[in-house]
Amino acid sequence: MATNRTFTMIKPDAVQENHIGGILHMMEEGGFRIVELQKLLLTPERAGQFYAVHAERPFYNDLVKYMSSGPIVAAVLEKDNAVADFRTLIGATNPAQAAEGTIRKKYAKSIEANAVHGSDSDENAQIEADFFFGSK
């Protein structure tokens, strides 16, 4: 599988606060090309499927509720070393620990409502992109 693509979501808090444009701008300024882009509302069932890997974690039910609480923006991004470079661009899961200049430092409200998702491996990037955009 190609190592030059990753998958992202702009999460409900950031969409609600009118940060779609600001966040997409940071992604483009970071060297990422937007390959696929869609705004949509996840049902709790779909949100639960997406985060099934976290089903045993104590925050899972809240996370599913949150991710289905309002529209998200799903996107596939392209850049050399996309997965690792994008994790650097978004910053730590907990915005209190996110580095200066990262998307989460600028836009995340809390460890749950942390503005954006970024895939953690090439394999998951492919699975997550297919979940929203189908196999290409």
Catalytic residue positions? 117
Contact of 108 with 19, CB cutoff 8 Å:
no
Torsion, Cα 67 68 69 70, to 10 degrees, reads 90
Q: Which stretch binds ligand IDP (CB under 6 A): 24-32, 34-42, 71-79, 107-115?
A: 107-115
Cβ neighbours of residue 49 closer than 8 Å, sequence gap 6 or more: 131
The only residue of 20, 84, 111, 127 in contact with ligand IDP, by rule CB under 6 A: 111
The only residue of 4, 93, 121, 124 in contact with ligand IDP, by rule CB under 6 A: 93
Measured CA to CA, the distance from residue 49 to residue 72 in angstroms comes to 15
Closest CA to 124 of 72, 87, 79, 71: 87
Residue 1 or 52 with smaller CB distance to ligand IDP: 52
**Residue 5 annotated as binding site:** no
**Residue 93 annotated as binding site:** yes
Measured CA to CA, the distance from residue 70 to residue 16 in angstroms comes to 7
- Please report whether residue 83 would count as binding ligand IDP according to CB under 6 A: no
State the binding partner of 93 from Mg ion, ligand IDP, none, CB within 5 to 8 A by kind.
ligand IDP
Residues that bind Mg ion in the complex, under the rule CB under 5 A: 120
Residues that bind ligand IDP in the complex, under the rule CB under 6 A: 54, 59, 63, 93, 111-112, 114, 117, 120
